[in-house]
Amino acid sequence: MYVYANGCSMTYGSELADHPVTKVCRDHGYRWRYSWPGRLHALLDADGSYNDAMPSGSNDRIVRTSIDFVARWLKAGLPPQALLVVVGWTHPARREFHVAGDYRQIVPHHAYDIRALDRLVSAYRKSAVCPDEAEQRYATQVASLHAFLEQSGIAHVFFNGIVAPETPRHLRGTCVQEALMGAPFVPHEPAEPTMAAFLRRWPNTVNVQHPNETGHRLWATSLAAHLDPDGFASVDPAQLTDAGLPVLGGAQALRRHDRKGTERIGRFVRSRRTRSRARRSDRSDPYIYP
In a domain, 287, yes or no: no
In a domain, 232, yes or no: yes
At 101 the three-state DSSP class reads coil
How far is the CA of 77 from the CAs of 74, 137, 237, 277, 288, in angstroms?
A: 5, 32, 14, 53, 40
Q: Which band of pLDDT confidence, cut at 50, 70 and 90, is reported for residue 268?
A: very low
pTM: 0.88
Q: Which band of pLDDT confidence, cut at 50, 70 and 90, is reported for residue 95?
A: very high
The residue-averaged pLDDT of 239-262 equals 79
DSSP string, 209-276: SSB-HHHHHHHHHHHHTT--GGGSPP--HHHHHHTT--SEEE---------TTSEETTEE--SHHHHH
In a domain, 231, yes or no: yes
The residue-averaged pLDDT of 69-85 equals 97
The residue-averaged pLDDT of 62-90 equals 97
Residue 261 has pLDDT above 60, yes or no: no
Number of domains in the chain: 1
Residue 278 has pLDDT above 50, yes or no: no
Domain containing residue 198: CATH number: 3.40.50.1110
User: End-to-end CA distance of the chain, in Å?
Assistant: 30
SS (H, E, C) 38-81: HHHHHHCCCCEEEECCCCCCCHHHHHHHHHHHHHHHHHCCCCHH
The whole domain housing 207 covers: 2-282
The residue-averaged pLDDT of 147-157 equals 97
Q: For residues 48 and 9, what is the distance between their CA atoms, to the nearest angstrom?
A: 21
Residue 270 has pLDDT above 70, yes or no: no
The reported pLDDT for the residue numbered 113 is: 86
Q: What is the DSSP letter of 25?
A: B
